[in-house]
Chain A
Amino acid sequence: MSETTSTRRDFSKAPSCLKGVGVTRYFHTGKITTKAVDHVDFDFHEGELVSIVGESGSGKTTLSKMLLGLLKETDGQIYYQGKPRDISSRAKLKEYWSGIQAIFQDPFSSFNTFNKIDTVLLDCINMRGGKNLPKEKKNEMMTEACSFVNLKFAELTNKYPFELSGGQMQRLMIARIFLLKPKILLADEPTSMIDACSRATILDMLLQLRDEIGMTVIFITHDIGLAYYISDSIYIMEHGKFVESGGADEVILHPQAPYTKRLISDVPKIHEVWDLSTV
């Protein structure tokens, strides 16, 4: 782990790209109110790799949907590049989405099974304003994006997403991001549905992509070990609240909150007996 810590950088001086003050989301089912995200404050800096760690049901996905603008916040304010985020109209929303993109957890349900792979990639080119490019140029761009994630476009063209394996689909997802080149990437457990071998490849590609286009990555995961491995800073989320946040080393090596300690002790270690008492 000592090698990874050396690559970690301090972004606290970098300009803020996504900031939240008192961001809240409640769900109402009849008379029961579920506080999915409860007054959280955060500040993500440009170029930073931030991990949001928490167990299932802690509100990570709800928060990520709010960050993406797919879900309206019940309360609080999100700032985008220093200014209050304005996604009140479709045009503004579209503009916002050209700067923030996402990779979802389940690659099998992320693609429309009725669309061919070409459609998925062409959509990205069109979104970047490449609608009127010649066909050869578009093909070239798609081939480049595919080769970045070790896929051969010639083999994928005219295929449907469900004909690929989970790892290939998730790599296709990264190829999509490669074409879109957003400022912020929200990766919602991108490796949790993939086997361990593919996971390393996917993570590697994500990190490569981050270096290549210099984007901010918000990495949402339940795996605190993974978060420590890749992140610059970590937010620990429990029951809709951030219980601890800060630099990755600070949070993992000197945890303050009992929940963080529990999460760390829950990581299985090969050479030790796994302590299940906290589970």
Chain B
Amino acid sequence: MKNTIRQVFHSPKFVIGFVIFFGILLLSIIYPLVHPGDPLESVFIGSDRGSFTPPGTYFSLYDAASSFRTNLNPKSKTAADRATISISDEQRVRMITWLTAMEVSLDGVDTTDDAALLEIWKANYDESAKPKGMTKSERNACKRLNSDLNSSGKESPLKVASEDESVKIKDIDPMNYVPVNQVRSVIRLPLGTDNFGRDVLKELVSAIGTSLLIGLVAGVIATLIGLVFGLLSGYVGGLVDDIIMFITNIFTVIPSFILLILINYSIGQEARGAMVVAVVIGLTSWTWTTRSVRSQVISLRNRDHVNLSKLSGHSLFRIVMTDILPYIASYVVMAFILQISSAILSEAQLSLLGLGPSTTKTATLGLMMNWAMLYSAHLGGSWWAYFPVIGVIALISFSLNLMNTGLDQVFNPTLRD
């Protein structure tokens, strides 16, 4: 046993898969401890609600206005920055239109040079002038443009008042800067938020936990049923074998995904929690474990050591447990790993169809994809709502399959290259 485990951990494929998988598992365990709280709580209400917020660091405007304590004032730099006014293309066109309408000569003036253009504008602009061919709205636009150009570069403090009487009106200079860590409420969103303003990273970590649990539960159920049926039908044989293989064949012939869809649909929206879905996945995916365990047992049951055990008067249960099961244990472990992987994928597929766990209390990897799709994250370019999820699903299934391949090479020496 110890030797086998050592051998398994000498397989590079298994070790890589194991490290990736345990990294993901540890992340799902440790991250919630470091950042406690409901992963599905809306943490962020941006300027426009109901939209995906891109990844970044956000701080509350309220706090920004009310909680400055230090006043870093790198005036020299920012003041200079503010004095140089940049003119947008739109503004430039409007300025040139006005100047030509007023028949101001622009000969020899480089209109792409902001400073030169601004100089001419300041010298010639007259609010009361009515250039030919310009409508009133166009004249108003020019008026606004002028005030924009004049106000920038000026430093008028922002007046902030609080409803709280004790706090007096406060002037905030545009040049007031504070370190981000001094703002009370800063929200760091490494993966942005989803449509409901929930932190995608937090949600993703909790979804990984739930999905792994679904995989585990479904895998355990499928492997247990498959193992028991396979052992019984292989070892006992006869009528028991016929009955079990009849049931197994029925389940094999009907694609299990169709079964999953039908069962999940008939369970109904209310009863379909994450665990119910896991059980349903487990109950529909045991067939090939049964078939392969059965064939392994059939080849084992006529071996001499089983005959010897029979001759020693051991009971059927003991023979199965000590003479058959240890010989197929490695195979069962491999099947179990694949069952976990396929259960996680099944959940994702089902949820994408809207037949997964119908819950708003827990997130699963599939549900996150479903939500991202429902609110058109893929159309709006909100990649952060679904790309990390796809990546995690791929990583989990990749690592599990890699572990399986590694195990396969250890237990089937003929596959080693």
Contacts and interface: CB of A to CB of B under 8 A. Distances in A.
Residue of A68, A102, A112, A123 contacting most chain B CB atoms (<10 Å): A112
Residue of B303, B310, B313, B314 contacting most chain A CB atoms (<10 Å): B313
B414 interface: no
A50 interface: no
Nearest to B316: A90
Contacts of A127: 312-313
Identify whether the interface residues of A are mostly helix, strand, loop, or mixed: mixed
B322 interface: yes
B304 A109 contact: yes
Nearest to B305: A112
Nearest to A65: B307
Contacts of A112: 305, 308-309, 322-323, 326
Interface in A118-133: 123-124, 127
A105 B313 contact: no
Interface residues of B, number: 16
A94 B311 CA distance: 8
A97 interface: yes
Interface string B308-333: 11111111000000110011000000
Given A101-B311, A127-B312, A127-B313, A106 B322 contact: no
Given A68-B311, A127-B312, A114 B304 contact: no
A104 B307 contact: yes
B305 A109 contact: yes
Contact of A114 (B303, B315, B322): B322
Contact of A94 (B304, B313, B323, B326): B313
A104 B308 CA distance: 8
For this complex, into which size category does the number of interface residues on chain A fall? 20 to 34
Contacts of B310: 70, 97
Given A70-B310, A97-B311, A127-B313, A104 B326 contact: no
Contacts, number: 46
Interface string A68-97: 101000000000000000000010001001
Nearest to A123: B312
Nearest to B1: A114
Contacts of A68: 307, 311
A22 B21 CA distance: 63
A158 interface: no
Contacts of A123: 312, 314
Residue of B307, B309, B322, B326 contacting most chain A CB atoms (<10 Å): B307
A127 B303 CA distance: 21
B5 to A, nearest CB: 15
A208 interface: no
Nearest to A100: B311
Contacts of B305: 109-113
Residue of B309, B311, B314, B315 contacting most chain A CB atoms (<10 Å): B311
Interface in A37-87: 65, 68, 70
A115 interface: yes
Contact of B312 (A105, A113, A124): A124
B311 A102 contact: yes
Contacts of B311: 68, 70, 97, 101-102
Which 10 A-B residue pairings sit nearest by Cβ, starting from the closest? A104-B304, A114-B326, A110-B304, A94-B313, A112-B305, A123-B312, A109-B304, A97-B311, A112-B323, A127-B313
22 contacts: A65-B307, A68-B307, A94-B313, A97-B310, A97-B311, A97-B312, A101-B311, A102-B308, A104-B304, A104-B307, A104-B308, A106-B304, A109-B303, A110-B308, A112-B308, A112-B322, A112-B326, A113-B305, A114-B322, A115-B322, A123-B312, A127-B313
Interface of B: 303-305, 307-315, 322-323, 326-327
Interface of A: 65, 68, 70, 90, 94, 97-98, 101-102, 104-106, 109-115, 123-124, 127
Given A97-B313, A127-B313, 7 more contacts: A94-B313, A101-B311, A109-B305, A110-B305, A112-B308, A112-B322, A112-B326
